[in-house]
Each structure stands twice: as structure tokens, then as C-alpha cells.
Amino acid sequence: MTDEPRQTTPRPILSSISAQLFVANIKSSCDFYTNKLGFALEFIYGDPPYYGQVIRDNARLALRLVFEPVFVGHVRKREHLLSASITVDTANEIKQLFLSYQARGVSFHQALKSVALLLAQRAHRIYPAGATRRYKTREQRGND
């Protein structure tokens, strides 16, 4: 038996993740994300289009055409279900992002506001559905 330390494999770091959003119209969804939210069109597949991707910085959103509601009845509205979130590093950046979206005429489910959650200092996330919630910034998570 040896006392040599065992080699441990470093944990893989996820550098990004893409969300897939189900949409009723690829063209109008791409127009919304590019014209209102500042994304760039990466690609669109199909004739007529049935799949596409928009990007902004490290964020990628896949848009997939569906012909029927993804959620049963009014569960999405009743339960405030969200498909993806947009995260930035600081509370100031989320305020800037929110104000820029507001200036472009983006409607929100809930206005930007500060809310204490678990008595912790937190930063905001904006959700495509418009809701805002409070989460720690990357800097704050590093101090835990």
C-alpha cells in the first residue's frame, strides 16, 4: 500500500448552456429577440422555417416551431412558468438591461424591483416572460 496522493480529475466547467424555446412563429420570434432584446440571428433552418438560433454574448436561444400549446390549459399563466432566464453579473447591469428593454417597448410581467430573499444581498435576473427575481451575483457566490 502506498501513501501517494491519488490523481483526481478536475470537474468539467460548463462554459455556456442553450435553452430551447417553443414558439408559434419562428420569424416573429427571431424579430422580437433581435429587434427588441438585442440578440443576433445565428441561423434559421427549413422552408418554411421550423428551427433557429439567436445569440447575444454568451447566451444562445434555440427557437423551435410548435403547432400546439406546450402547456395544458392556463397552467403557464396560473403558475408563472418560465422557459429561460437572462443573467448578468451585477445589479447595475440588470437595471441597464431592463431600462434598455423598456425603451424598446418590451412588456414585462412584473416591473423591476428590489426584493430581499432569504435576507441575502442578491442581484436580479430578467426572464423572457418578463418576471424578475433576485439571485446572488457571481461575485457574491464566490464569497459563500
What percent of the chain is modeled with pLDDT above 90?
Answer: 29
> What is the reported pLDDT for 54?
95
> What is the reported pLDDT for 129?
45
Residue 32 has pLDDT above 90, yes or no: yes
> What is the reported pLDDT for 83?
59
Residue range 48-68, pLDDT digits in tens: 999 999 999 888 899 999 998
Per-residue cell: 113: 424591483
Burial class, 63, CB count within 10 angstroms (exposed 0-12 / middle 13-18 / buried 19+) = buried
- Pairwise pLDDT comparison (7 vs 30), residue with the higher score: 30
Q: Which of 52-66, 83-97, 105-119, 121-135 has the lowest mean pLDDT?
A: 121-135
Cα–Cα distance, 1 to 97 (Å, whole number):
59
Rounded to the nearest angstrom, the gap between the alpha carbon of residue 36 and the centroid of all alpha carbons in its chain is 15
Cα–Cα distance, 135 to 85 (Å, whole number):
11
- Pairwise pLDDT comparison (139 vs 98), residue with the higher score: 98
